[in-house]
Structure 1
Amino acid sequence: MDESWISRKRTTPEFRQGVEEFIQFALKHKKEVGKICCPCRNCGNITTVSTESQLLDHIFWNGFSKNYTEWIWHGEGVSGRTNNNYEDPVENLSNDHLSYENDELDDFVHDTEDNLEERSHVLDRFLSDAEKPLYEGCTKYTKLSSVLSLFQIKAEGGWTDKSFIELMAKLKDMFPENNELASSTYHTKKMLCPMGLDAERIHACPNDCVLYRKEYNELQECPRCGESRYKVSDNGDATNEPAKVLWYLPIVPRLKRLFANAKDAKNLS
């Protein structure tokens, strides 16, 4: 079965025909009435739909999970086909590497916890940001990819918001006029957080005794070891900077990717 349509644009006849063939296959092999695992990029076979029209809408709206090439959640056994078109990811590592950045950015745009069917303007804006050049004539970076690259450096380097704002302002001034680079940390986070990238910043005891949340949320020192919640200045006064911070990042998008891959899904089930 030729599944090259999965990587085609959703407006092409090949993609439409492939989706129709997949839906017929899924309906033929579904095990439970009224429940069909949805392989769109938003659901990742974790969520089910009840009708053919819902399945069709999800796939055309969110796209089809690129790694879901063995339809184990729709009646096909793992490695149960004799498909000459199936490409082993290890054997094709060089090709995968070449398209890695574009694929990751594309998945990033679509892997969101929000119900984009109810917020179509959000999807429209993100798709536009993912395609809009950083400045006229720029072919390497888009408005979205530039923000992702810079924010990744900020996170890995532990930069403060102040230093990041200064860098953004300087870069924006260096680039050609009317460039699309975000002008501040606020605009950067505003662009990323609605896509399911919200992170919760939780203060923690420097000795790892407790997290300052729930019943400990208002405490100024650790109830177990007595250490201050905030860093202390040289003169002994407490500052507003937490002594230790834990970042909570959502795990659902990663689980969706794992379940989309046939081999990983088999190990998870």
Structure 2
Amino acid sequence: MLVDVCPTKQCLPENHYQATKLVSTLGLEVEKIDCCVNGCLLYYKEDISLTECRVCQAPRYVPRRKGMGYHKDVPHKRMFYFPINPRLQRLYALEESASQMRWHRNNKSNPNILRHPSDGKAWKHFDEVYLDFALESSNVRLGLCSDGFTPYT
């Protein structure tokens, strides 16, 4: 379906392997991290070798069926971590997107009009509290928002 709507069909990868290979050349890898089935532990860093959760003792892997031969252990739950540093570096690599990343500093508006988060009280308060951070226009402020759901369950 995507091939039908894309004007340059030769640019699209033909399968999942080619798409993964294309993304990996961009430096935008993903890290897969196993999680506890109940969401209480990430099997990461010092806990990477555990086979059961040290909080609730739930098994990490789905039990293997008898007579199926040798297969890799399959975790009950897995999360995908997208490191932010390479993505921010890609945004600053091109002058056009880098100038847009500094838009909040270069395009000050009327202080009585709210048209960007940088015009809000929270942004201005942050700039007052962390003056060294605010002085560098290329520093990035990240926001975390949720609509009431728990993203890890």
TM-score normalised over the length of structure 1? 0.29
Bigger helix fraction: 1
TM-score normalised over the length of structure 2? 0.48
